[in-house]
């Protein structure tokens, strides 16, 4: 039977080859291994073939990777890049320390340069695999020094960035601060003549060795004279290291920050309740306009689990939150108006598309698809917009997962497996959490869309929005 199965390795039907690859995982003969390698090399661009090959060869991922990378056909492509990422992720997830060391040592050999793409992909996969809890960081001292040695101007930028990201995942607490790379990072970060990508990597390296000596450097980099990406990574690093102190310094320079830098700063303001408090104080003083915060973040603030943040946000960011009846009466005249569906689409894109789609298009799939309400009477659609808590659609409850370290993840449950839960946030991003890491799981009693957000929509715009939602085109 085994011989008959193995003979199907070159079948013309890709579905047959895929099923054979899954089945060969149960066989361990040389012929079965050869057949698996043949199918992988033939169909390596297919992500399902990649997954089947790796799943059918537990503990042999490195050998499979070597077969692919030594193949004369191994030229950079999206499919092959995904294979190396998947390989690194499986090795990292299964904690194969010998193979992990091999990945790092192989990546640290910086020549030939045309190999940098797959080396970087392996490192990115390893980062992905190590992101799951349970890895002890104080390992691989020699390999960390090899990764650090890739911080130089002539290293391929993609490989250099991936090496630093892996160092971030592994931690560098045991590496002396006086290494040549760490000493040079400060000089490179402030050198406006240096390559911008190299400067960004220098700031990333500074973030791995936090200390007050970096605060002045990072604060000075938040300036319109600097490239946007340099400013963004400086803002991210500065606020992550120094919290509210950095937030206040960033806000002092708010008028001269471009939209991209402001957006990065807003993401960092949302990282802690202390940072959020600084942001809300700035809104209260009129230094930051609520529209700058963005709809998704406004939703998070007005539904925050901290009562002080939640109440202050609703007071500052929504003109009417207490009396929904009054709000409904204010907008009730729109029910007798003839709205313009074309203009309503623009209103939808500005105010609703961050969480909703209509017929599977035109937005982010987070809340219910609003094509489902097309046949409802306009008065009930308006009522749900004004008071979203009156009817929360099944399957769209907001959930909070508390992790063992106290960190909380929020969103709707987009997928469940026996071993994991996947949450989707208001921006459409998904995060999978292993059930073993769930300390507690609770559903919110309120909608992810808080009351009061209709204040961003004028009465004519509301009429247009209702017309669009009723037509859905």
pLDDT tens digit sequence for 136-175: 666 788 888 999 999 999 899 999 999 999 998 888 776 7
Query: pLDDT tens digit string along 217-242?
Result: 999 999 888 888 999 999 999 999 89
Query: pLDDT tens digit string along 380-417?
Result: 888 888 877 666 665 667 788 888 888 888 888 888 77
First to last CA, the chain: 57
Query: pLDDT tens digit string along 66-113?
Result: 999 988 888 889 999 999 999 999 999 888 888 999 999 999 886 667
Q: Name beta bridge partners: 232.
A: none
Element housing 215 (H / E):
helix 215-221
Q: What percent of the chain has pLDDT over 90?
A: 28
Domain ranges of the chain: 399-443
Query: Which tokens go with 85?
Result: 């990422």
Q: What percent of the chain has pLDDT over 70?
A: 89
Residue 210's pLDDT is 67
Query: Which tokens go with 159?
Result: 């490989």
pTM score: 0.67
Angle at 448 between CA 405 and CA 433, to 5 degrees: 35
Residue 321: pLDDT above 50? no
Q: Which residue, chain included where needed, has tokens 């070159």?
A: 10
Q: What CATH number does the domain located at 399-443 have?
A: 2.30.30.100
String of b and e for 159-176 (b: at least 16 CB within 10 Å)?
A: bbbbbbbbbebbbbeebe
Cβ neighbours of 350 (radius 10 Å) = 14
- Alpha-carbon dihedral sign for residues 227, 232, 235, 241: negative
Query: pLDDT tens digit string along 13-29?
Result: 888 888 888 887 777 77
3-state class (DSSP) for residue 442: strand
């Amino acid at each position: 039977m085994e011989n008959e199965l193995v003979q199907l390795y070159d079948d013309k039907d890709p579905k047959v080859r895929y099923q054979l690859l899954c089945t060969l995982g149960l066989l361990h003969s040389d012929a079965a291994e050869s057949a698996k390698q043949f199918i992988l090399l033939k169909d390596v661009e297919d992500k399902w073939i990649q997954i089947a090959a790796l799943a059918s060869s537990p503990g042999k991922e490195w050998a499979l990777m070597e077969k692919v990378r030594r193949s004369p056909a191994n030229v950079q492509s999206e499919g092959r890049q995904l294979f190396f990422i998947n390989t690194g992720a499986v090795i990292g997830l299964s904690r194969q320390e010998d193979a992990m060391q091999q990945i790092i040592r192989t990546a640290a050999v910086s020549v030939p340069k045309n190999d940098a793409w797959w080396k970087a992909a392996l490192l990115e996969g390893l980062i992905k695999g190590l992101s799951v809890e349970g890895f002890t960081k104080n390992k691989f001292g020699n390999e960390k020094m090899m990764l650090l040695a890739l911080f130089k101007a002539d290293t391929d930028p993609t490989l250099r960035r991936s090496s630093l990201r892996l160092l971030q995942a592994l931690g560098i607490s045991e590496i002396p601060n006086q290494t040549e790379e760490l000493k040079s990072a400060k000089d490179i970060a402030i050198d406006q003549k240096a390559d911008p990508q190299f400067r960004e990597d220098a700031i990333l390296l500074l973030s791995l060795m936090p200390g007050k000596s970096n605060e002045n450097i990072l604060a000075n980099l938040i300036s319109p004279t600097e490239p946007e990406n340099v400013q963004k990574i400086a803002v991210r690093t500065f606020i992550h290291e120094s919290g509210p102190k950095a937030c206040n310094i960033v806000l002092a320079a708010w008028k001269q920050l471009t939209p991209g830098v402001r957006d990065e700063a807003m993401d960092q303001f949302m990282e802690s309740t202390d940072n959020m408090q600084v942001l809300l104080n700035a809104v209260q003083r009129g230094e930051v306009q609520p529209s700058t915060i963005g709809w998704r973040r406004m939703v998070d603030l007005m539904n925050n689990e901290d009562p002080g943040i939640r109440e202050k946000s609703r007071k500052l960011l929504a003109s009417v939150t207490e009396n929904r009846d009054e709000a409904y009466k204010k907008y009730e005249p729109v029910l007798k108006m003839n709205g313009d569906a074309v203009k309503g689409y623009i209103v939808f894109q500005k105010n609703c598309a961050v969480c909703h789609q209509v017929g599977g298009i035109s937005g982010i799939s987070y809340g219910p698809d609003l094509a489902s309400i097309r046949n409802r009477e306009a008065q009930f659609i308006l009522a749900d917009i004004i008071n979203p808590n009156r009817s929360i659609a099944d399957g769209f409850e907001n959930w909070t997962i508390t992790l063992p370290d106290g960190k909380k993840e929020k969103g709707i449950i987009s997928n469940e497996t026996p071993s994991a839960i996947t949450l989707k946030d208001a921006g459409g991003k998904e995060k999978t959490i292993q059930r073993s890491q769930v300390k507690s799981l609770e559903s919110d009693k309120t909608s992810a869309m808080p009351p009061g957000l209709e204040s961003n929509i004028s009465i004519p715009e509301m009429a247009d929005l209702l017309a669009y939602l009723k037509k859905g085109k």
